Structure 1
């Protein structure tokens, strides 16, 4: 099967003062147009909902994850089919059941997302809270420090596209015992997470109360927001969180961890879920 996520390129690598020609693998970045059709059979409405720059692969999960985490869809039962458009590999069509009505964005405008920032300019934290079906802060989920320390090595073993390109973000979902459930990889960190949540949405395993989300980079506001939409109560990042990510996690009761290494981490919010086994 052809790899559509990476592309070989001939480049020049300098080592000291000596150049050499090498074959380099680059992560592919292409636009994905997410279209949606809804309404009664005799009067279907077709709209472009989003254009996102992504790494091809798991486009179905990406589309469903995006529509769910943005509050446009709330249930798998709303979805009749998800198909790649026959005229373009970079367009995907989500068809809703005739009775299903999406929660469309205000002013009926579509989103544009880049691989760097996700959907920016969100409304207030309280507005997000009213959209989510789940309350990730009310669970009694707890995890051990020792289990957390083992997650970084697990993620590195699973990041196949990062190993090939060095330019891919990953979002990985682990159960309470530290076993990997799913992983999503993409040039966009928000896309990687939407791929994971979209799979859970399609397989009807939401909410993800007793799961740990591990991010390969920093923890930004929109990633914490998406985690809350899916009911995830523990978010762990290998990099730094932003101030708004911390504020959002605290408001939602999410345990937020940053700078995870094999022997240390920073705990920012909801410390009651972290336990030390004697």
Structure 2
């Protein structure tokens, strides 16, 4: 099946390919990275205020989902009812920037945390919003309690997730330069997949899509992220109520500490038919570790 990609998400470049001593000219496909400004409107009718909340480097596409997911995972909104909608902002100075500025309109009854709104974020595509140094700060953002009665998934199923994710990564196949986040059911059915130059953006897009479809909390789901599992990704998954986070790369120490606190199962190095389980392994069925080798 041919997959048609948004034309704004990639562009072509002429490159010189070097193989041993041979040099050839060819066309290559690049993943686009552009800034997205997220503005927010809030307040009672007739007393609305608008301000810039974030500027993030992202791959164009699914911008409304990205904004919705960011608002949720950063604690600006708590549920779908507090978000009226997201639009491309019509009052930008330059026409060419219009699709790089979105405005999220909060419900008049929403009561956003004003100190959070006053904080201007700059989110880099490589690391996400930086500066959180303690799990307590995230607990204060009202992360939901993750379920303690499941879901229970087959430990063997975790091995299959990367191949299912990669098969759906149309833009990665073209460019080789994108991260992905994929939402799965406990039986391994791929429900949502989003790609972006930033790991945190890809996950925000998935969470934003689920929020807009009113699927939250995602207590019966698991997510696979490309690359490493950072504290930011664990925090975002916890806000969405995701109890199982698997990553192709390694988790950080703070990510594991946070996951233990939230009650989240974390699997790392999920590739080449192997993975490590770092905490809350009880959600993985038929997991029977052997005794360590004696010295």
Answering whether residue 119 of structure 2 is matched by residue 109 of structure 1, we say yes
Question: Take 2:149 and 2:102, find their aligned partners in 1: how far apart are those partners?
Answer: 36
How big is each residue's C-alpha offset from its partner over 1:141-178, in whole Å with a ceiling of 9 and x where there is no partner? 11112211111110110111111111100000000000
The 3 A distance-change label for structure 1 pair 182 and 107 is closer
2:282 aligns with 272
The 3 A distance-change label for structure 1 pair 85 and 78 is same
Question: Take 1:107 and 1:197, find their aligned partners in 2: how far apart are those partners?
Answer: 20
Answering whether residue 40 of structure 2 is matched by residue 36 of structure 1, we say yes
Cα deviation, residue 82, structure 1 = 0.9
Contact kept, 8 Å, 1:137 with 1:252, in 2: the verdict is: no
Cα deviation, residue 124, structure 1 = 2.1
2:29 aligns with 25
Unaligned runs of 5+ in 2: 93-97, 289-295
Cα deviation, residue 53, structure 1 = 0.3
Aligned partner of residue 128 in structure 2, secondary structure: coil
Once superposed, which parts of structure 1, at least 4 consecutive aligned residues long, lie more than 4 Å away? none
TM-score by length of 2: 0.90
Answering whether residue 144 of structure 2 is matched by residue 134 of structure 1, we say yes
Question: Take 1:124 and 1:108, find their aligned partners in 2: how far apart are those partners?
Answer: 21
1:14 aligns with 18
**Which range moves more in the overlay, 241-250 or 129-138?**
129-138
1:184 aligns with 194
Aligned partner of residue 136 in structure 2, secondary structure: helix
1:214 aligns with 224
Cα deviation, residue 107, structure 1 = 7.9
Specify which of 63, 70, 79 is matched with residue 74 of structure 2: 70
**Which range moves more in the overlay, 204-213 or 97-106?**
97-106
Answering whether residue 255 of structure 2 is matched by residue 255 of structure 1, we say no
2:61 aligns with 57
Question: Take 1:268 and 1:245, find their aligned partners in 2: how far apart are those partners?
Answer: 10
Cα deviation, residue 263, structure 1 = 2.1
Unaligned runs of 5+ in 1: none
Report the RMSD for the aligned CA atoms in angstroms: 1.6
Contact kept, 8 Å, 1:132 with 1:228, in 2: the verdict is: no
The 3 A distance-change label for structure 1 pair 175 and 107 is closer
Question: Take 2:245 and 2:115, find their aligned partners in 1: how far apart are those partners?
Answer: 27
